[in-house]
Amino acid sequence: MATHKSELTHIDSAGRPAMVDVSAKPVASRVAVASTQVRFPVAVAAALRGQGMRSAKGPVIDTAIIAGTMAVKRTHELIPFCHPLPIDGCRFAVDWRDVRTLAISCTVRTTHRTGVEMEALTGASVAALAVYDMCKALSHAIVIGPTRLTGKRGGKRDVGEVE
């Protein structure tokens, strides 16, 4: 999935940071999928499963999905050169990958002139951070990552797999 461009898009001709002008781009259906993992100590993962994925702060997965969705909608407020976008859809998949690793996937859809890769990455990341926050009383040895774009469709080029 590694592709490299020879120039940065958020730098103007004077070498200053600049938001990309997307006004000439066509409106298109776009989707992006990002994933991350939350790795727990084995005993903490077992305790969470035994508690129905609830911590002292409440339902871990439900809270993570809500936090991730809120982050998707506010990505342009967090990442300086992201355009505010209408979000047509945002879905999370959260499943145990193995006995200690929780996999989080965020799929974001829009119909616009620019893609939603940053929204998907932000959603997955913040959902993982919410899991950490919900569970840190059990252990501070929880590890997040790797976080990556797993696919996108729409725009100039498609990358990876999109559901």
Alpha helices in the chain (DSSP H): 42-50, 60-73, 75-78, 117-135
Name which of 123, 142, 160, 133 is nearest 35 in CA terms: 123
Question: Does 8 have pLDDT greater than 50?
Answer: yes
The string of pLDDT tens digits covering residues 96-141 is 999 999 999 999 999 999 999 999 999 999 999 999 999 999 999 9
pLDDT category at 1 given cuts 50, 70, 90 is very low
pLDDT in tens, 29-56: 999 999 999 999 999 999 999 999 999 9
Q: Looking at 12, 21, 133, 158, which residue is catalytic?
A: 133
Query: What percent of the residues of the chain are helix, what percent strand, and what percent coil, each to the nearest 5?
Result: 30, 30, 40
Is 133 among the residues known to form the active site? yes
CATH of 28-154, one of 3.40.50.300, 3.30.360.10, 2.160.10.10, 3.30.70.640: 3.30.70.640
Cβ count within 10 A of residue 124: 31
- Given the structure tokens 């991350």, which residue do they identify? 36
For residues 153 and 163, give the distance between their C-alpha atoms in angstroms, rounded to a whole number. Answer: 10
User: Do the beta carbons of residue 151 and residue 34 sit within 8 Å?
Assistant: no
Tokens for 47?
């305790």
Given this model, what pLDDT does residue 18 score? 84
Report domain extents, the chain: 28-154
How far apart CA 65 and CA 90 sit, in angstroms, is 10
20 contacts 156 by C-beta, under 8 angstroms = no
Average pLDDT, rounded, for the chain: 93
Is a pLDDT exceeding 60 seen at residue 5? Answer: no
What is the rounded average pLDDT of the residues 56-64?
96
Give yes or no for a contact between 81 and 74, defined as CB atoms under 8 angstroms apart: no
φ, ψ dihedrals at 160, nearest 5°: 60, -155
Predicted confidence (pLDDT) at residue 6 exceeds the cutoff of 70: no
Q: Which amino acid does the sequence have at 55?
A: S
